[in-house]
């Protein structure tokens, strides 16, 4: 789906439907049906180490339970461990799945872990996940900054210098994340290393420092993605603006240009469910993974609740339960189709 800065406002809108006041977590209101297969194989949800990706996992787990199965959830693991765990069980009768496989951002990770012989990747569970470089709108308007290339000018780069070394400080990606590879590739491709420093570390801490800097009225430069709570704090088009690139330079996709001519340097991603290749032995589960969808705005709304303090695992599970309750009629249709495929 083609996205401009204006459309991005609707993508990251905080649609917290079904996320009401805090209460004790409960399972979705549909009883778990007993399945003859339930005792023959195990289903394991591989949990991402990114807390803001827990909600979509809990939603999927709750829906799988309505199909009649119990689901075990792993401890938090990084993407590489997650993909390797799934690949190691590619021929197993058991099911291992993850709900936050970013496409195309994680495609190289999947290929490196065995590709289609090890994995079964499903359709778009979550669509329209945008990402890119942003700066505060006040500085962009005052200095007519539109492109990341504009920061090759020392006088422009210095505006975003937070440690007095004369270079712009980019709040960037954790080591090992897919976005790190893109940023590092573009730092070389666009000749940015002389004027920009890619600051890395724990993203949540770095971006919190960036927001604090913004609140003092200072210019900011950062990378982020949607859905994520940051774009609820700093709204694109209102508080901040996306920088464009003058030509596509991406290590995975040939072109990142949108049909309207805009190019933010990153492909618009979707998050997909990925499972071990042998999941196809279980036709009902396979069908369910093909069907279920989650709106990116619902995740943005839930992520905002987390940023306001509702970030314990029990609270996230409760958010998922409420989403399931609100969308039960739609889920009933998915369950019916999945059972028919068995």
pLDDT digits (tens, 9 = 90+) for 228-273: 999 888 989 999 999 999 999 999 889 999 878 889 999 889 999 9
Residue 32: pLDDT band by 50, 70, 90 thresholds? Answer: very low
Point out the least confidently predicted range of 12-26, 87-101, 274-288: 12-26
Cα–Cα distance for residue pair 66/69, rounded to 1 Å: 7
Name the residue ranges covered by the structural domains of the chain: 16-129+269-341, 131-242
In this prediction, residue 5 carries a pLDDT of 43
Q: Average pLDDT for residues 88-95, to the nearest whole number?
A: 98
In this prediction, residue 211 carries a pLDDT of 97
Q: Give the class (CATH, top level) of 131-242.
A: alpha beta
Point out the least confidently predicted range of 3-12, 143-152, 174-183, 310-319: 3-12
Cα–Cα distance for residue pair 57/97, rounded to 1 Å: 9
In this prediction, residue 194 carries a pLDDT of 98
Tokens for 137?
């709108």
- 16-129+269-341 and 131-242 share one fold: yes
In this prediction, residue 27 carries a pLDDT of 43
pLDDT digits (tens, 9 = 90+) for 195-221: 999 999 999 999 999 999 999 999 999
Sheet hosting strand 43-45, strand order edge to edge: 72-73, 43-45, 95-103, 269-276, 119-129
Tokens for 105?
């951002």
Cα–Cα distance for residue pair 196/151, rounded to 1 Å: 7
Q: Which of 319, 207, 324, 227 is nearest to 271 (CA)?
A: 227
Alpha-carbon dihedral of residues 324, 325, 330, 332, nearest 10 degrees? 90
Cα–Cα distance for residue pair 48/66, rounded to 1 Å: 22
In this prediction, residue 28 carries a pLDDT of 44
What superfamily would CATH give domain 16-129+269-341?
Periplasmic binding protein-like II (3.40.190.10)
Q: Average pLDDT for residues 75-88, to the nearest whole number?
A: 98
Burial of 272 by CB count in 10 Å (0-12 exposed, 13-18 middle, 19+ buried)?
buried
Answer with the residue of higher pLDDT: 3 or 111.
Answer: 111
In this prediction, residue 99 carries a pLDDT of 99
DSSP 167-234: SEEEE-PPTTSHHHHHHHHHHHHTT-TTTEEEE-S-HHHHHHHHHHHHHTT---EEEEESSSTHHHHS
Q: Is the pLDDT assigned to residue 17 strictly greater than 60?
A: no
Instruction: Find tokens 């119990």 and name the residue.
Output: 70
Cα–Cα distance for residue pair 270/94, rounded to 1 Å: 26
Q: Is the pLDDT assigned to residue 26 strictly greater than 60?
A: no
Average pLDDT score over the chain: 90
Residue 16: pLDDT band by 50, 70, 90 thresholds? Answer: very low
Q: Is the pLDDT assigned to residue 2 strictly greater than 80?
A: no
Q: Which of 62, 24, 19, 72 is nearest to 292 (CA)?
A: 62
The helix or strand, by DSSP H or E, that contains position 276, with its residue range, turns out to be strand 269-276
In this prediction, residue 132 carries a pLDDT of 97
Residue 31: pLDDT band by 50, 70, 90 thresholds? Answer: very low
Share of the chain above pLDDT 90, in %: 79
In this prediction, residue 130 carries a pLDDT of 87
Cα–Cα distance for residue pair 136/143, rounded to 1 Å: 11
In this prediction, residue 206 carries a pLDDT of 96
Tokens for 197?
């420093």
DSSP 64-83: HHHTT---EEPPPB-HHHHH
In this prediction, residue 38 carries a pLDDT of 44
Q: Is the pLDDT assigned to residue 124 strictly greater than 70?
A: yes
In terms of average pLDDT, the best of 20-29, 276-285, 296-305 is 276-285
Tokens for 172?
């960037």
Residue 9: pLDDT band by 50, 70, 90 thresholds? Answer: very low
Q: Is the pLDDT assigned to residue 86 strictly greater than 50?
A: yes
Tokens for 323?
């989403």
Share of the chain above pLDDT 70, in %: 89
């Amino acid at each position: 789906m083609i996205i401009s800065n204006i459309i991005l406002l609707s993508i990251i809108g905080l649609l917290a439907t079904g996320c009401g006041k805090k209460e004790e977590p409960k399972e979705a209101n549909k009883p778990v049906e007993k399945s003859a297969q339930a005792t023959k194989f195990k289903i394991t949800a591989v949990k991402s180490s990114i807390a803001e990706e827990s909600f979509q996992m809990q939603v999927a787990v709750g829906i799988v339970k309505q199909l009649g199965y119990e689901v075990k959830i792993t401890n938090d693991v990084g993407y590489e461990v997650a993909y390797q765990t799934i690949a190691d069980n590619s021929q197993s009768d058991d099911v291992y799945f993850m709900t936050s496989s970013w496409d195309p951002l994680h495609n190289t990770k999947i290929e490196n872990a065995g590709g289609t012989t090890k994995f079964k990747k499903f359709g778009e569970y979550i669509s329209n996940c945008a990402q890119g470089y942003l700066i505060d709108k006040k500085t962009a308007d005052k200095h007519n900054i539109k492109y990341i290339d504009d920061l090759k000018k020392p006088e422009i780069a210095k505006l975003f210098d937070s440690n007095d070394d004369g270079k712009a400080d980019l709040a960037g990606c954790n080591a090992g994340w897919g976005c790190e590879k893109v940023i590092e590739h573009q730092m070389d491709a666009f000749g940015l290393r002389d004027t920009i420093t890619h600051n890395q570390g724990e993203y949540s801490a770095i971006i919190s420092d960036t927001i604090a800097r913004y609140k003092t009225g200072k210019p900011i430069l950062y990378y982020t993605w949607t859905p994520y709570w940051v774009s609820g704090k700093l709204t694109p088009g209102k508080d901040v603006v996306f920088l464009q690139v003058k030509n596509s330079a991406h290590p995975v996709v040939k072109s990142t240009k949108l049909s309207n001519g805009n190019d933010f340097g990153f492909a618009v991603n979707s998050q997909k469910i990925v499972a071990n290749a042998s999941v196809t032995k279980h036709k009902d589960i396979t069908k369910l993974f093909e069907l279920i969808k989650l709106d990116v705005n619902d995740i943005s709304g839930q992520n905002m609740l987390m940023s306001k303090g509702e970030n314990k695992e029990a609270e996230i599970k409760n958010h998922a339960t409420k989403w399931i309750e609100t969308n039960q009629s739609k889920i009933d249709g998915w369950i019916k189709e999945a059972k028919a495929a068995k």
